[in-house]
Structure 1
């Protein structure tokens, strides 16, 4: 009976410790509620983390996030606009993404700019980047592992609407499009990534890639075909 009581007590203490650790981790991992005003003050966010910021119409809002080799990142932003009665016309918002060297990156899909009418309550923007390469030539503008900067701002708005309060939300998602092995190389170090955490798959991606999938799948099919052929020739049907 004493052994059972001691065991239950130990389990209770362990559970309490785990709950305390989880609470501390939750407190430490709270999503950012502000944005930087320039590249140097960009607020670091994680992948799949929603960050928010209260700002004024006309402000430049900056965040930064990590992306590793083989990842295809999608940045989504939503701006909650001021009351329609306070606005004096339509406004155009723009979402830009830069790499660690502050080179603007192209969007393969998504609406990088969006125009909100005077009656709209929100405006949504998105940008899906090219797949991050594990390495590149020095002269190329290829996306490489490291930090990426998000810049969100209004680019066309009536002057009387400048300074009106807005609330911005950003989130970055990434899908794995193939690891470093698919390219046959790796970058020595991430580009200016000191302020952001390393992504789950690492800066240079995992060993798995689409090529490995096709290779393994083809090998399995060949093996099955060989076994099936051997079975048919080894045990012919009897009449």
Structure 2
């Protein structure tokens, strides 16, 4: 009877630990800001967007379109841009579109995956570009080009197109999202301040990332299992079964 009570108690602790090991889903704000319907024409006029917002803008072929979004330590940002092209009958040939992402110091960041450069054929109705950055680090050496917490700039433009197609109307849609890299990328250190992030809102988990990591889950679960095994072994040793 005593062993059963102890087992049930520790079983409850194990379930509680498992519940703690799973981070709660972020609450959805009721007062979300409307997504921007315009873009800037330079770094200084880049329009701020939040993660998960789908910003749109009406523009002309050949324009440089700029947005900026926030990203904190431990996040791996992905930018997706879709350009709705002019009617095929009004275009004179193929065009190459380009998506670039820069950090708060305006250093161009390499894409770890995605298609940031795509060629649209004359008959295509739209073209989609993507860029997934490396995981944002809480700090880095001065000589490195690692992505750091702060604002990130998105630039969308046409790389090359027939001269007669310049100025034709297009519609752009841009969205920036980010995945949490988790405990596998947890590391110490942090910046004194995010890189040029006055215009963008701080991420939900802060610039330095969430306090939670997968290591906490493994540590807590392991501790509960060890306690369960220890008490179970002690109980069996003190009260051997009678034949």
TM range (shorter): 0.7 to 0.9
Question: Under a length normalisation based on structure 2, what TM-score does the superposition of the two structures give?
Answer: 0.82
Question: Under a length normalisation based on structure 1, what TM-score does the superposition of the two structures give?
Answer: 0.83
Q: Which runs of 5+ in 2 are unaligned?
A: 1-29
What is the rounded CA distance, in whole Å, between the counterparts of 1:51 and 1:132 in structure 2? Answer: 23
Superposition deviation, residue 170 in structure 1: 0.5
Superposition deviation, residue 210 in structure 1: 2.6
Matched, 1:103 2:107: yes
Equivalence map 1:175-214=2 (5 Å): 175-178=179-182, 182-214=186-218
Matched, 1:67 2:48: no
Question: Does the CA contact (< 8 Å) of 1:177 and 1:210 recur in 2?
Answer: no
Match of 1:30 in 2: 34
What is the rounded CA distance, in whole Å, between the counterparts of 1:72 and 1:236 in structure 2? Answer: 54
**C-alpha RMSD of the superposition:** 1.8
Superposition deviation, residue 237 in structure 1: 4.2
List, as ranges, runs of 4+ consecutive aligned residues in structure 1 with deviation greater than 6 Å: none
- 1:154-197 CA-to-partner distances (Å, cap 9, x unmatched) read 11212221111100001111122237x92111110000011111
Q: How many residues align?
A: 213
Which SS does the other structure have where 1:107 is aligned? coil
Which SS does the other structure have where 1:215 is aligned? helix
Equivalence map 1:79-90=2 (5 Å): 79-90=83-94
- 1:20-55 CA-to-partner distances (Å, cap 9, x unmatched) read xx6xx46xx111111011111100001111100001
Using CA pairs under 8 Å that are at least 6 residues apart, name the structure with larger relative contact order, 1 or 2: 2
Q: Which runs of 5+ in 1 are unaligned?
A: 1-21
